[in-house]
Amino acid sequence: MIQNPVLPGFHPDPSILRVGQDYYLATSTFEWWPGVRIHHSRDLVHWRHCTYPLTRTTQFDLRGNPDSCGIWAPCLSYAHGQFWLLYTNVRTLAGAYKDTPNYLITAPTIEGPWSDPVYLNSSGFDPSLFHDDDGRSYVVNMEWSHRAGRTPFSGILLQEYSRAEQKLVGPIHRISAGSPIGLSEGPHLYKRKGLYYLMLAEGGTGYEHAVSLLRAPAITGPYEVSPYHPLISSYRTAGEGLQKAGHGSLVETEQGECYVAHLCARPIEQDTPRAAEEYDGLHCVLGRETALQKVEWTADGWLRSAQGSSAPAWQVAAPALPAHPWPKEPTLTRFAPDAPLSPHFNSLRVPMDEHWVSQRARPGYLRIHGRESLMSFHDQSLIMRRQQAFDCVVETELDFAPDSFQQMAGLLAYYNTQNHAYLCVSHDEALGRVLLLLGNDNGIYREWAGPVAIPAHGAIRLQARFARRSLQFAWATADGDWQAFGPALPTALLSDEHATRFEGGYARSFGFTGNYVGMACQDLTGRRQPADFAWFDYRETAC
């Protein structure tokens, strides 16, 4: 069986692709570096991280991008002997306007090398590339409208892409306004038996989300809505089910079995029974994840769920493929001068380079030089990984000698610049080296515990223990016992819903990512005081 979600934790907007016996899943990375996370499978059951195609500043620039902006909704395809990847670098999110330049890169293999980008357009986000059987290629994307009194999702646009000229050419067609669900985005085109199928994400990316399917005799339409509508949705389904199901992408196995990859979410409150209509008070700390559903073609040429319901299933029948598990990954990360960092680690908005993070400066340690504050959109010094389980323990060992209260380093639980919790070592004029538990709650600065004096010298260990709805920090000397530090915090602080705010009918902020945990250092004096981390351990625990 396929156990959902197949990619737990922050892995939204999946684009799935089969090339021969290999299956690839590309997901959005938003403001995190490197860009676009691609996983690989041979059986649709077992997945491993494969590559990041966006690794250079010539491909994308995230400095200054607000929270939940950056790389949205990649589309991965293979044709004409190479891989194609489309993506949006969203630069404006809150309010009426969206700045959404769309780009295309290519590579001879999934590992690369990936090209520098070709600019496509900026009319809306979620670009997708369709390769027709006549050799022509087309780009579809949603169109964004800022005009008052009208739906901001104003339709799906189609335009031909000239591979020879490396640009969009010819007329722009508005091929569909979607289904009555509305808010149509995430378009993907497919062709079967001479008919064109348009798969859409609809209903917004929250609890009313859905995957819709439309069909037309010509690529420009007119498109009719499937009688099996919606194809996938968890809206008003049982509260214990996968939620927010939408943004689908279709793949067919060599044996002709079909699956839709879609995003989903799991609220921390799913352990409490509630009515299907009750969505207030739910919080998704792990962000939007990726799941798979089996679908089948009907006699009248439509896709419908093989599970008998549009509601997504936790377990789905796996395809008739040989099992292909991957080696189990270690939980403990140690640092060595010539070893690459684990692909689970990401930085925020800027690449990891020797200017601010190094495994060579002090062999056996990861040295992070302090830079800007946790509210900066530019040069933060964070090395983080996704939280992928409700119940997990994160630990590290830190050697840090601050001489100013403006210098901090430690263990961070981070949703975005406005919402995070930070167990850090700092300096106090009266107490010397101290421990603090501080953070932001919707932009309001908090100090939940400390400052408390700790030994003036030597390494200390830091711990964050997640137990679904609560987060407890602790600390210890290098050879001492763990001591709880500060109150248990609600993990809802680090959720999609807590980070999303509307004012006057406009979004002021969105929670589109998911919680991260990891190592951080700040030096607001500008002197770049370094912090040395000996190891990092992330392990999932029993509920």
Question: What is the spatial distance between Cα 129 and Cα 161, in angstroms, rounded to a whole number?
Answer: 9
Taking CA atoms, 86 is separated from 26, 116, 127, 150, in Å, by 11, 12, 6, 28
Question: What is the spatial distance between Cα 1 and Cα 314, in angstroms, rounded to a whole number?
Answer: 10
- What tokens were used for 195? 């008919």
- Specify the DSSP element, H or E, that contains 90: strand 82-90
Question: What is the spatial distance between Cα 410 and Cα 397, in angstroms, rounded to a whole number?
Answer: 9
Q: Which of 13, 31, 67, 202 is catalytic?
A: 13
CB 10 within 8 A of CB 323: no
3-state helix, strand, coil in the chain (%, to 5): 0, 50, 50
Long-range pairs of 212-221 with CB within 8 A, sequence gap ≥ 24: 212/178, 212/179, 212/181, 212/184, 213/302, 213/303, 214/176, 214/178, 214/179, 215/301, 215/302, 216/175, 219/130, 219/132, 219/138, 219/158, 219/175, 219/189, 220/158, 220/173, 220/175, 221/173, 221/175, 221/176
- Specify the DSSP element, H or E, that contains 139: strand 137-144
The three-class DSSP label of residue 227 is coil
CB 391 within 8 A of CB 541: yes
- What tokens were used for 26? 């590309």
Active site annotation includes 185: yes
Phi, psi of 394 (to 5 degrees): -120, 130
Question: What is the spatial distance between Cα 257 and Cα 299, in angstroms, rounded to a whole number?
Answer: 15
CB 380 within 8 A of CB 349: yes
Kindly state the greatest CA–CA separation across the chain: 78
Question: What is the spatial distance between Cα 393 and Cα 467, in angstroms, rounded to a whole number?
Answer: 9
Alpha helices in 46-127 (DSSP H): none
Report which DSSP code applies to 492.
Answer: G
Q: Which of 185, 257, 399, 496 is catalytic?
A: 185
For every residue of 145-188, DSSP letters joined together read ---TTS-SEEEEEEEEEETTTTEEEEEEEEEE---TT---EEEE
Question: What is the spatial distance between Cα 203 and Cα 231, in angstroms, rounded to a whole number?
Answer: 13
Catalogue the E-assigned strands of 298-399.
Answer: 303-305, 315-316, 332-334, 347-348, 357-358, 366-369, 382-386, 391-399
End-to-end alpha carbon distance in the chain: 22
Question: What is the spatial distance between Cα 287 and Cα 508, in angstroms, rounded to a whole number?
Answer: 19
As a three-state string, the secondary structure of 94-112 is: CCCCCECCEEEEEECCCCC
Residues annotated catalytic, as ranges: 13, 185
